[in-house]
Copies of this chain bind each other. A is one copy, B any other.
Amino acid sequence: MKKSTKKKATIYDLSVLSGCSASTISAVLNGTWRQRRISESTAERILGLARDHNYTTNMQARGLRSSQSGLVALLLPVHDSRYFSSMAQTFDARVRERGQCPIVISTCRDPKEEYQTVETLISYSVDTLLIAGATDPDSIHRLCKEAGLKHINIDLPGRSGPSVITDNYAGAVELTWSIINSFSDDDSITPSDIYMFGGRDDHNSRERNRGFRDVKDAHFKTKTEETIVPTGYAPGFAQKAFEEFYETHGNLPRGIFVNSSINYEGLLRFMAKHPPETFENLVIGCFDYDPFGSFLPFQVTMVRQDVEKMIDRAFQLIDAGEMTPRTYLIPPQFVPQRTALTGPLDLLKDVP
């Protein structure tokens, strides 16, 4: 019983077909018909008609009227990292559970793109916005606030809104200890054996740096010299940093704290240019979990940021209307070598 006319059915079409007014149709179809005292029988009749003509609500019209959209957006620096893609996967699932429509957008860490994208999202009346790793959270916060858009920072904190982030310090401390403890006592290491690569001058990097330094200082019982090489987040820059270190010293540091899985890819690029033996005794600690990265042929421990808890907490705060600029820390999970965690990928509705 499908209309062969190309156009989609509207409440007006159903209005004519049913003999009811458009407002009645509207009420029935959006579920408010009980409050509007539409009789059960008319409701059923209309719902039947709607099914037959496979009516679907025009969300633009509804959105225009109600200035809502049912869309919930996640703003990502990049898609192509297992940290962010697992975040997207979890986000999608959670938003669907809430009966809304999840959309995910990346901005390549470009502040201009970020700003414009948020403006666009606002113009679509997106209901809620999760901002992951914004480079300039505060100006985005201002935008959202002016538009009355519920939003929250994930991963990187902002000064003006609530933020749910990983406990970077705690994670860095654990990771650094695990690197140091990988070396047996008789195989003595010096402060210059342990380096940190990656990151830049953002909150997360600073906290990770602090954890790294504190543990080094505690272990070597002295204020150790600077062994942190910030490279930004792009893999190419990290690669260059490894190359330079290698050229200067003739080898890599014996233990390396890698600031993120994207920086870890910089190490991959370095590895591709050097024989496997170069890495036989390497000890890596990576802040971020990548399942394949956990099985590389050297000692590698990882820290998995708990995206599920972060997303859940974010929605709790949003539902509670909490907009105070507070930062909520989520403890990350320490991941030993050769570990394949189950994750959002297991949400696949697939048959064996």
Interface residues of A (CB under 8 A from B): 6, 8, 56-61, 63-64, 67, 69-71, 73, 77-82, 84-86, 88-89, 92-93, 96, 101-106, 108-110, 113, 117, 119-120, 122-125, 146-148, 200, 231-237, 240, 262, 264-265, 268-269, 271-272, 276, 290-297, 338-340, 342-352
Contacts and interface: CB of A to CB of B under 8 A. Distances in A.
B80 A88 contact: yes
A39 B96 CA distance: 49
Contacts of A89: 78-80, 106
Contacts of A81: 85, 345
B272 A119 contact: no
- How many of these chains are in the complex? 2
B92 A85 contact: no
20 contacts: A56-B123, A58-B64, A59-B120, A60-B123, A80-B88, A80-B89, A82-B82, A102-B105, A108-B348, A109-B348, A113-B349, A234-B350, A235-B345, A237-B352, A269-B340, A271-B295, A272-B338, A291-B292, A296-B297, A297-B297
A347 B262 CA distance: 12
A268 B295 contact: yes
A25 to B, nearest CB: 16
Contacts of A119: 56
Given A271-B295, A290-B292, A231 B352 contact: yes
A104 B124 contact: no
B262 A291 contact: no
Contact of A63 (B60, B78, B296): B60
